[in-house]
Amino acid sequence: MLISAKIFKDEKFWLAECETFCVMTQGKSCSDALYMLSDAILSLYPDFKIQYGWINEKEGQAFIEPENISEALGIMIERNRNNNGLTLSELAKIVGSKNHNSVYAYEKATREASFSKVEELMQALGKKLVITLSD
């Protein structure tokens, strides 16, 4: 699974953003910005194993490739929940869950979420789950 990232030039610095993980940082060059993005993600989640690279460097299209998809989905849910200022209980209530333990289990990757559950959680957080297939 590849998670998209954007790298683009601001006035002075190169900015790198991964909307999926709600992370943005900067670097002195295009490549440095991508490295800094991976470093920012790993600073938040030191045990998270990822690779990163370019889809199309000229257009600033990069990717983050997680080793563990369940862990990546958990981070996506947690970061977006926090970005929306919601507690575990509040998000659980929005999606009709009786308690916050299920959301917590998805975030910590101790329970695998189905695509429909991830989509439901993302909709509750104002996001749309988009899946793209390629060779």
28-41 pLDDT per residue, tens: 999 999 999 999 99
Percent of the chain topping pLDDT 90:
90
- Note the pTM of the prediction, 2 decimals: 0.90
What per-residue confidence (pLDDT) applies to 135?
A: 75
Q: Is residue 29 part of a domain?
A: yes
Q: Is residue 135 part of a domain?
A: no
At which residue do the structure tokens 């983050």 appear? 64
- Please, which pLDDT band fits residue 134 given cuts at 50, 70 and 90? confident
Q: Note down the domain range covering 49.
A: 3-66
Instruction: Kindly tell me if the per-residue pLDDT of 133 is higher than 90.
Output: no
Look at residues 66, 83, 99 and tell me which one is the last residue of a structural domain: 66
Number of domains, the chain: 2
Q: Which 3-state string (H, E, C) describes 101-130?
A: HHHHHHHCCCCCCCHHHHHHHHHHCCCCCC
CA distance 83 to 80: 5
Q: Tell me: do 36 and 55 sit in the same domain.
A: yes
What per-residue confidence (pLDDT) applies to 131?
A: 81
Do 6 and 63 form a contact (C-beta atoms < 8 A)? no
Q: Is residue 90 part of a domain?
A: yes
How does the average pLDDT of the chain come out, rounded? 95
Tell me, what CATH number does 83's domain have? 1.10.260.40
Evaluated on CA atoms 65, 66, 68, 71, the torsion sign reads negative
Instruction: Kindly tell me if the per-residue pLDDT of 132 is higher than 90.
Output: no
